[in-house]
């Protein structure tokens, strides 16, 4: 597969967006060293742009990003793509509305993932962003479609844009890469807050009708038009 002239500019723009968004991961304390990765779907194509494997966050320019097809085969770029590329690609193949995927090993989300219990929705900011609990995905070995399948199967039946893959960590999705990054940031924030709540005692539960009202308002009335 080659990149046609028709989408050359789009690919370059997505390369830049994905490179720049990576700065949000260390800035928000979601990653150490070279862990974590962000990808974006290239609109009107069968392509995605993703971080190279094991490269320092200090060196993530647009040039370093890798373009692959939606099965994770490299189409452009001299770097090896992220070792999580197959999982990202699986998500794009099976969820047409997803424009961005983020994976981190953020600490509190990892902790919940190793317990294998969902993060209960007991804060309005969690209702706003996730519309309920953050669910757990299965344990999935690396190297085949297991991780991607686990993400898709879990998130298809949830309003949440974040899933905690067992003993592994969070994957988040969004209509855009920026939205997926936001979900990753909010996921760690609520995993941390609900950890603290759990250490202190029993939280006051939130009614499902309240959660629904908050989620609906936030998805439709928050932010600029």
Per-residue tokens: 178: 């920026």
Q: Which of 36, 41, 21 is nearest to 170 (CA)?
A: 36
Q: Is 128 a catalytic residue?
A: yes
Active-site residue flag, 212? no
Q: What is the DSSP letter of 65?
A: -
To a second copy, the closest distance from the beta carbon of 143 in angstroms equals 7
From 10, 124, 158, 176, residue interacting with a second copy (rule: CB under 8 A) = 124
And the tokens for 64? 């370093």
Q: Is 63 a catalytic residue?
A: no
Those residues whose C-beta lies under 8 Å from the C-beta of residue 3, and which sit 6 or more positions away, are 11, 47, 67, 75, 76
Residues in the chain, how many? 225
To 5 degrees, how large is the angle CA 19–CA 22–CA 26?
150
* 168 annotated active-site: yes
Q: State which residue, 35 or 62, has the beta carbon closest to a second copy.
A: 35
Considering the complex, state which of residue 1 and residue 80 has its C-beta at the smaller distance from a second copy: 80
Q: Which residue has the tokens 């962000």?
A: 38
Question: How many Cα atoms are found within 13 Å in the side-chain-facing hemisphere of 30?
Answer: 30
Longest dimension (CA), the chain: 59
54 binds a second copy per the rule CB under 8 A = yes
Minimum CB separation from a second copy for residue 79, in Å? 6
CA–CA dist 154, 82 (Å, integer): 22
Site string for a second copy, 9-38 (x = CB under 8 A): -------------------x---xxxx---
CB-wise, 1 or 23, nearer to a second copy?
23
Task: Enumerate residues 146-185 that contact a second copy by CB under 8 A.
Answer: 166-169, 182, 185
Helices 177-200 and 107-115, packing angle to 10 deg: 70
Give the Cβ contact number of residue 224 at 10 Å.
3
CB of 216 to a second copy, least distance (A): 10
Range in contact with a second copy (rule: CB under 8 A) among 4-12, 14-22, 150-158, 204-212: 204-212
Q: Which of 43, 61, 217, 219 is close enough to bind a second copy by CB under 8 A?
A: 217
Residues known to be catalytic? 103, 105, 128, 168, 222
Residues contributing to the site for a second copy (CB under 8 A) = 28, 32-35, 52-55, 79-80, 83, 105, 107-108, 110-116, 122-125, 139, 141-143, 166-169, 182, 185-186, 189, 192-204, 206, 210, 213-214, 217, 221-225
């Amino acid at each position: 597969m080659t990149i046609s002239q028709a989408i050359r500019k789009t690919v370059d723009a997505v390369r830049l967006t994905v490179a720049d968004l990576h700065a949000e991961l260390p800035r928000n304390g979601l990653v150490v060293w070279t862990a974590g990765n962000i990808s974006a779907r290239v609109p009107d194509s069968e392509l995605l742009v993703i971080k190279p494997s094991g490269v320092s966050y200090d060196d993530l320019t647009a040039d370093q990003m890798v373009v692959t097809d939606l099965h994770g085969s490299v189409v452009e770029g001299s770097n090896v793509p992220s070792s999580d590329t197959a999982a990202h690609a699986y998500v794009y193949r099976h969820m047409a509305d997803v424009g961005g995927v983020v994976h981190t090993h953020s600490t509190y989300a990892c902790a919940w993932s190793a317990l294998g219990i969902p993060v209960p929705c007991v804060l309005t900011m969690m209702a706003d962003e996730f519309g309920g609990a953050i669910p757990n995905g299965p344990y999935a070995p690396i190297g085949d479609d297991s991780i991607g399948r686990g993400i898709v199967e879990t998130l298809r039946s949830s309003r949440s844009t974040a899933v905690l893959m067992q003993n592994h960590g969070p994957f988040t999705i969004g209509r855009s890469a920026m939205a997926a990054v936001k979900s990753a940031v909010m996921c760690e924030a609520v995993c941390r807050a609900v950890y603290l709540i759990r250490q202190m005692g029993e939280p006051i539960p939130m009614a499902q009708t309240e959660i629904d009202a908050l989620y609906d308002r936030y998805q439709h009335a928050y932010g600029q038009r």
